[in-house]
Amino acid sequence: MTVQPLSMASMKRRPSIGTLKFAESIFIPVAALAVSALLFSLFLLALGKSPLMFFQLIWVGGFGSSFSLQNTLQRAAPLILTGLAFAIPARIGLTMIGGEGALVLGGLSAAAIAIPLVTAGVPPFLTLPLMAMAAMLAGGLWIGFAGWLRYYRGVNETISSLLLSYIAIATMNFFVEGVLRDPASANKPSTMPIGDAYRIGAIPGTDVHWGLAAGLILAVALHVIMTRTTFGFAARVTGGNARAALAQGLPVGKLIVVCCLLAGACAGLAGFYEVAAVHGQANASLVAGYGFTGILVAFLARQVPLAVIPVAILFGALAAAGGVIQRRMGMPDATVLVLQGLIFVVLLTSETFYGRIPFFQPKRAEERT
């Protein structure tokens, strides 16, 4: 049997493996969103509600006006940072779900270090950077510890990071309701307010705080680090096969710990902005679920730092539309949480389709040409 050589025209028409993989990574999450929307529509119909009206209100509440858009971006800021907190360890093969704990501990650390500095009259241009560094250090060490346990003690990082989150929340409650409690906070135990002079203002021309800009910069920087540097290449090799990475002489343990430190620092920074830009003090409001929603954001973004940005904005819009849905449709604003949970389940199911759809497989592509 003779093998017919491929013509130049057929070689040009043949899609590359990279192109097929990229198309697959876009198609499957988008299809998962579509399936989630369909299933949620059936849920709404069973309740006697209009799916069309629901999704219209999501658009109105998330993007329909300047106020809605800024509300969406405000809510997207911490989601970008907590999404990165999950995405970076995932690139090295870890499932770290402790972003919520790192955010809470970062916010507590920022508020705690602010108390003596504000009392002593240290100017804001010195106090705020110290608060940010304290938050990033606390969050980084918290997630970094889970990474250290994973490599050096073989402790499952998913379980340890989740348990560390609960410990972080309990620690925050212990201090906020104890030695750090402001006597004036009778109804809601809180730390001493940092004061308006120490609050981070909004981006000029908007009502969105600077946490959004920090998230965008970090997403771009981490994307470059993870895709265009030797460190990122080594992390990807380790994530693909840790034993092969060890055989090639890569410092797997250090890579794991460094990725976890970076991840925790991102979540800790989100806690800093929640204190310095949103609440002005540390209290139970820090436990808002941003760390857990960040997991869903990173999953839908396929752990790509740049893709975290638009996905975080999408989920910020869902959160921003909760009030509009409550008023217009008579449904609780937690309805969007049901939709988020459904998206997560469908996304997990969609993982089984990677590498199994014939259209995106190289051999089948060659047959089509």
Confidence (pLDDT) at 21: 82
Are residues 234 and 271 located together in one domain of the fold?
Answer: yes
| 26 within a domain of the structure (yes/no) | no
The pLDDT-based confidence of 356 (bands split at 50, 70, 90) is confident
User: Do residues 89 and 175 both lie within one domain?
Assistant: yes
Mean of pLDDT values over 365-369: 51
User: Given a cut of 90, is residue 14 above it in pLDDT?
Assistant: no
Q: pLDDT at position 367, please?
A: 53
89 lies in the same domain as 113: yes
> Do residues 281 and 328 both lie within one domain?
no
Within a domain: 315:
no
Say if 60 falls within a structural domain: no
Coil, helix or strand at residue 2: coil
Token readout for 282 is 């540390």
Average pLDDT value for residue range 346-353: 90
Q: Are residues 205 and 274 in the same domain?
A: yes
- Give the domain extent around 326: 321-352
Q: Answer whether residue 7 is part of any domain.
A: no
Is 52 within the bounds of a domain?
Answer: no
Residues 274 and 333 in one domain: no
Q: Is 102 left (phi over 0), alpha (psi -120 to 50) or beta?
A: alpha
> What does the mean pLDDT of the chain come to?
91
Q: What pLDDT shows up at residue 267?
A: 98
In-domain check, residue 17: no
CA distances from 320 to 18, 44, 74, 211 (A): 36, 19, 9, 17
pLDDT tens for 68-110 read 999 999 999 999 999 999 999 999 999 999 999 999 999 999 9
Structure token digits, residue 212 = 């959004």
- Check whether residue 277 and residue 151 sit in a common domain: yes
pLDDT score for 334:
82
For residue 290, pLDDT over 80 is answered with yes
Residues of the chain with pLDDT > 90, as a percent, come to 81
In this structure, the answer to whether residues 193 and 125 fall within a common structural domain is yes
Q: Are residues 276 and 193 in the same domain?
A: yes
3-state secondary structure of 10: helix
* Beta-carbon count within 10 A of 362 CB: 14
- What is the predicted pLDDT for the residue at 23? 87
Model pLDDT for residues 144-202, shown as the tens digit of each residue: 999 999 999 999 999 999 999 999 999 999 999 999 999 998 889 999 999 999 999 89
16-33 pLDDT, tens digit per residue, is 777 878 888 889 999 999
Our CA angle for 116, 111, 189, nearest 5°, is 105
Instruction: Please determine, for residue 2, whether its predicted confidence score (pLDDT) is greater than 70.
Output: no
Residues 176 and 283 grouped into a single domain: yes
Quick check: is 110 in a domain?
yes
d(CA 101, CA 1): 64
Beta bridge partners of 202: 209
Total number of domains in the chain: 2
The reply to whether 114 falls in a domain is yes
What pLDDT, on a 0 to 100 scale, did the predictor assign at position 13? 57
Mean per-residue pLDDT for 213-242? 95
Residues 183 and 230 in one domain: yes
Structure tokens at 207: 């009502």
End-to-end CA, the chain: 20
Residues 331 and 303 in one domain: no
User: Which band of pLDDT confidence, cut at 50, 70 and 90, is reported for residue 361?
Assistant: confident
d(CA 23, CA 152): 38
